[in-house]
Chain A
Amino acid sequence: MSKRDEMEERCLEVKELQVLGMKVPQIALMYSVTERSIWNYLRRARELFSRTARNLNHDEILGETVKILERIRTKAMRHFHLCEENTAVKVGYLNTALKATEKLVQLYQEVGVLVKVPERLAVEEGLPFEDPEIRKEYLALLKKARAKGEKNLGL
């Protein structure tokens, strides 16, 4: 392990201890270093997290997740077909396949691959009508609904 890797490892450990609830003086005592050094480790840990986030390849992560979910679904379905009839295990496999499918659809919707069609339009109660922009949009919505022939407008 290089010196740099060791340093990164130390920073992450310190951060983990802080997350677990230890105070900076306690961590300093544990590593026999000054409190200032612990604060430095924590700062570097933050930088490390930011760098990691910046370097994330979204497509890669998405692709990886999709692949895993598809594998789960395929395997679950294969086992479901291979299972003997009417066993709880068989139902379990089917459930797993369905769950994986649901997760996949959800994922596709979240990233915009699938367009999510709303089942119901709900207008929050207590809209801030003192905002002219809100009033304008609300009136526009009523007009649009009228134009679409919607009867149930409470008007």
Chain B
Amino acid sequence: MKKIWDCDFKMAMSPSSHGRMDVRENLRLVEHYRSHGFKDPEELLEFIEAFWGLRIPRAKVCPDHTPPAEYLAAAFLEEVQDCVCWANRSGGKTLNGALLTWLDSVFKAGCETKILGGSGEQSLRMYEHIKGFLTPPFQHLVEGEALRTRTHLVNGSNIQILTASSKSVRGPHPQKLKLDEVDEMAPELYEAALLIPKSAKGIRASVQIYSTMHKAYGLMNRVITEAAESGYRIYKWCIFCVMEKCIGRDCDTCELWEDCEGRARQADGFYPVEDAISAKRKVSRETWESEMLCRMPSQEGLIYKEFDLSIHVI
């Protein structure tokens, strides 16, 4: 096939030229996907990268972890309903949740989502991310204004951001529920929220949970422990799964070596290597392991750090 843009791109798109993409073609492509869907996960990820400039990490860096792209594609294509994303700090949990919410709302007519954060501020972060996806090719799809509390789309979808209160989790039952940073959430609120989702309009009910696990015996610990029983699929990624590709650094002298073991050379994420080194220097080993490597909850602050539920409780 002859490519329509077989030309010297550098010149064609330089600011001094008259290079201009036609917004109508972008709208037409969005409309195509709205009516026909995406061919495969690859096409979905390419679309995200082209339309929002977001490259979701795809490389499988750690053998027992899942790259975020795998979660995003599986959740959007409804291959998984209930799941838990256990990921590191700055690992893109909220961003992925917001992106998935927006994709569901735009490309699945009548898809309703409720978002509940561990705190009002956390919910607001998700809203801010969603607002960032409201770019020109999608603006015509929003009915009225994208409000902090509720956003309505012309295809019948809507997104509701809940405040962290028991009152807010009562009321209508959308198909999708996103719980962000559950480790900060009150257990009663979490329990009440789980009863929100309900299948409707051909869209299956789903609960998706995003959090780090930074509290020993916290809510996230419980969610993970009971995941298999509750029917949650666990998607786990650590700092190395979202790290930018490590190039030219000497492994022998690298401070990350003991955890990385050269895996970052295969990474394709966004987290700067320098920032990871700096973060590791600043925090304790326990914090580093629980919050960045997603290994085990921190026992900091516990009176008896050595306490083990399986050993010391009859």
Which residues of chain A have a CB within 8 Å of any CB of chain B? 115, 117-121, 123-127, 129-130, 132-133, 135-146, 148, 150-155
Contacts and interface: CB of A to CB of B under 8 A. Distances in A.
Nearest to B45: A139
Interface in B118-165: 135-137
A154 B26 contact: yes
Contacts of B12: 118-121
Nearest to A133: B1
Contact of B25 (A127, A137, A148, A150): A127
Contacts of A141: 5
B18 interface: yes
A4 B304 CA distance: 112
Nearest to A138: B29
A155 B137 contact: yes
Interface stretch (B48-56, B188-196, B263-271, B305-313): B48-56
B32 A123 contact: no
20 contacts: A121-B5, A121-B9, A121-B12, A123-B5, A123-B25, A130-B36, A135-B39, A137-B1, A137-B5, A138-B25, A139-B49, A145-B19, A146-B53, A148-B9, A148-B10, A150-B13, A151-B15, A152-B19, A154-B21, A155-B21
A150 B136 CA distance: 16
Contacts of A155: 21, 26, 50-52, 135-137
Interface in B240-299: none
Given A135-B32, A152-B20, A143 B49 contact: yes
A123 B13 contact: no
A127 B21 CA distance: 13
Contacts of A150: 13, 15, 19, 21
Most buried by A among B32, B50, B52: B50
A142 B36 CA distance: 20
A148 to B, nearest CB: 5
A63 B53 CA distance: 50
Contacts of B9: 121, 144-145, 148
Top 3 nearest A-B pairs (CB, nearest first) are A154-B23, A121-B12, A142-B50
Contact of A135 (B18, B19, B43): B43
Interface residues of B, number: 38
Contact of A117 (B11, B21, B25): B11
Contacts of A148: 9-10, 13
A120 B22 contact: no
Nearest to B24: A125
A121 B135 contact: no
Contacts of A120: 12, 17-20
B108 to A, nearest CB: 19
Query: Which of A118, A121, A126, A141 has most B Cβ within 10 Å?
Result: A121
A127 B43 CA distance: 17
A125 B125 CA distance: 38
Given A138-B29, A152-B19, A121 B46 contact: no
A119 B18 contact: yes
B7 interface: yes
A110 to B, nearest CB: 15
Residue among A119, A124, A136, A153 with the highest chain B CB neighbour number at 10 A: A153
B125 to A, nearest CB: 23
Contacts of B50: 139-140, 142-143, 146, 155
B47 interface: yes
Given A117-B8, A141-B5, A143-B46, A127 B13 contact: no
Interface in B40-66: 43, 46-47, 49-53
A121 B4 CA distance: 10
Contacts of B23: 154
Contacts of A139: 43, 46-47, 49-50
